[in-house]
Amino acid sequence: MIALKAGRALVATAVLVGMTAAAQARCASPSDQEAFDVGALKSELSVLAVACSNEEDYNHFVERDRSELVRSDGVVNAWFKKTYGRAAQPRYDSYITLLANEQGLKGQHEGSDFCPRQKPIFAEAAIVPVPQLAQFAAVKDLLPKDMACVIETGAEGSGRSTPARRESHPTATHKKK
Amino acid sequence: MHARHTAALLFLPLLSLTACMNQPSAVAGARNVTYSTDLSGKATTCTVPAVALADGKDTATTMTTSGNGWCGIPVRQNDQPYGAGLLVQAPRNGSVYVHLVGDDTRVDYIARPGTTGPDAFAVKFIPGDAMMHVAVINTAPPPAVAAPAAAPTKAPTRATTTRTTTTRSRTSK
């Protein structure tokens, strides 16, 4: 019965989601957005560490900012659990892989400039106070557009998705035609 | 972690290949290199006054942009780029990118496609905690300039040759 009511509520908001989807690029909750931003920062630095042989810088970052990274990871995981229930883990894994892929693709476009151009981010992250890591991540253009709090409506890995409606419950879904 | 590293590793050979294909695009001339990636994609209209920030102080400025690319504000601390930028107020209709461009810290605002009207954001810089509040006006991008019509061309003429014919007259015996 609860599931039925929830389903009706989701359908009821579906039209509104469709109308507002084009304007949405951030999570409904600022704390969710911050957590996604920090996760994207960790992913970006991980890609850089592998592609540009910056493992030592990456390890320093992880050690120094461990508390904030763990906290943000917990928030992102909680969002996936709230949104996908039992399918949360594979959805989360898919999201992490897609994010790294997108960030790696950016490197392709920059060619040989990629590593020297991106390397300063490690030095920048190193002077940011740990509690302000999310504010730093928010200005580094790390999340490909509409990846934060995006709800996958298709099969896992199908790439079909819709951004979460800003004002509504983040589990609102919209079936794409 | 494993999935992420696997994905990243897939791109290593691609990056290597790309490095061979692309000529270095860095534009030298300052203490720090300016990469051509940071110079391309600017909005058609991007009007920002010169901004001088001070440690611990709040500075308000404006930006007018056509929203079809980034619009950037270069800032410095004692003639050097800042250590890092922190987002204090997110824009409602776009994103902010703070990064090193040559000897400047440049604060780019990128409007969401189709955005017109006002927006605002604020960034704090460290070290020193200088704050910058930016009031943005997004204007519609200028109409695309139509390519001039191709001038009509004459059909090519075939080369002519002149033949000389000689007629012989028959004489009867």
Which value does ipTM take for this structure?
0.74
Mean pLDDT score, B155-172: 51
For chain A, 177 residues long, give each residue's pLDDT as a single digit of tens: 555 544 544 443 433 333 333 333 578 899 999 999 999 999 999 999 999 999 999 999 999 999 999 999 999 999 999 999 999 999 999 999 999 998 888 888 888 999 999 999 999 999 999 999 999 999 998 887 677 787 766 665 555 454 444 433 333 333 333
A113 has a chain B CB within 8 A of its CB: yes
Window from A98-102, B107-111, B163-167, B169-173 with minimum mean pLDDT: B169-173
Minimal Cα distance from A119: which residue of B?
Answer: B100
In a domain, B34, yes or no: no
Per CB-CB distance under 8 Å, the chain A contacts of B38 are: 117
In a domain, B152, yes or no: no
Q: How many angstroms away from the CA of B157 is the closest CA of chain A?
A: 48
- Position A161: which residue type? S
The DSSP code for A21 is G
Per CB-CB distance under 8 Å, the chain B contacts of A46 are: 1, 4-5, 8
In a domain, B124, yes or no: yes
Alpha-carbon distance B134 to B62, whole Å? Answer: 5
In a domain, B123, yes or no: yes
Q: How many angstroms away from the CA of B57 is the closest CA of chain A?
A: 19
In a domain, B5, yes or no: no
Q: Domain tally for chain B?
A: 1
In a domain, B49, yes or no: yes
Q: Model pTM?
A: 0.74
A158 has a chain B CB within 8 A of its CB: no
Range of the domain at B137: 43-141
In a domain, B146, yes or no: no
What is the CATH classification number for the domain harbouring B47? 2.60.40
Tokens matching residue B98: 């703070």
C-alpha distances in Å from residue B173, one per residue of A97, B166, B169? 105, 22, 13
The DSSP code for A87 is G
Whether residue A135 contacts residue A90, with contact meaning beta carbons closer than 8 Å, is answered with no
- For chain B, helix (H) and strand (E) counts, in that order, are 1, 10
A118: CB partners within 8 A, 6+ apart: A48, A52, A107, A110
Task: Report which of residues A21 and B167 the model is more confident about.
Answer: B167
In a domain, B168, yes or no: no
Facing A135 at nearest CB: one of B8, B10, B87: B87
Facing A136 at nearest CB: one of B14, B21, B86: B86
**What are the start-end ranges of the H helices in A52-172?**
55-64, 66-84, 88-110, 114-118, 120-127, 133-137
